[in-house]
Structure 1
């Protein structure tokens, strides 16, 4: 595969980075034979990823040039894509079969060290822009009693805040909460900004 061509493909369709390499190769080869519209290619990328996630083979198994019949040009391309979409719709509507389900090996937690916070402040502020004529801060307070999370969920934004494999807990938390002074007008305190609320 031409590296420059693949880079252009990924730049235009970022979701394609989640595709298997052989599936990307197949789609790029198809794009040389058929003049896909942007929407058609995006749909094929999504369908290819769906098939992979469902463990239902690949797009190359559903693609059949003969579905285009005697048509040519755009009508032929549309007919083949419609045939693929119909097969995927059937798979999507079928009841999920778990008979061949295999449990994935349990991964180890990301955090390997646990340390205790010292005298760091417990209350923080949300990162809203400064209030002004065109902006208004939500004035959300955050109770930062823990920093980092042991679950290491790939979708969670906390993973982008902390990079060391350490979890920091506030020391003497009960005592410090009893003496905590809330600023006037505080009405909402968030607990999931620097940690996962599921840990509380």
Structure 2
């Protein structure tokens, strides 16, 4: 899935959870209707709950806090579950958004200015300084910008649309080594030359050496 879409879905899910946090009464009524159980003493009778505090010599006993069963369910179970979900979801969303912020400019290349591309490429190169050269990346992005303008016109772009190697390294080849990927990429680039070569003899020799069957 495209990172931009993933971030949007996670953000909408977080907003949904925050929205249902205020709808406890609605969910409670639905739950009661499912079980056909009317409000009973276990859910409506006020309960005395002593607030746990540390007393000093000048303090008297703490006041008693009264909760109904419904309030106890909301405060001790419903709210903690929703808040825990939101907290964990925000952590994951932040991680996705960080990666998306680094790479999302690729989808806007056709409409970006030179200065905008230069700034984004330098930012990405600083983050991955061992793998990316800012100068080379800027040059390639400027070239790719015009390629996209010519081939994609006004179509909306997503990151998967830009995968140049997706036909070579597909989901079924996810464990491919770098060496094999390099060789297959070279074969794809030089496909015209490759199609003009006769490999029958080479295939026969390879099969003869690798064959495990004995000739009787």
Structure number with higher strand proportion: 1
Structure number with higher helix proportion: 2
> TM range, normalised to the smaller chain?
under 0.3
Relative CO higher for 1 or 2, CA cutoff 8 Å, sep ≥ 6?
2
TM-score normalised by L of structure 1: 0.18
TM-score normalised by L of structure 2: 0.17
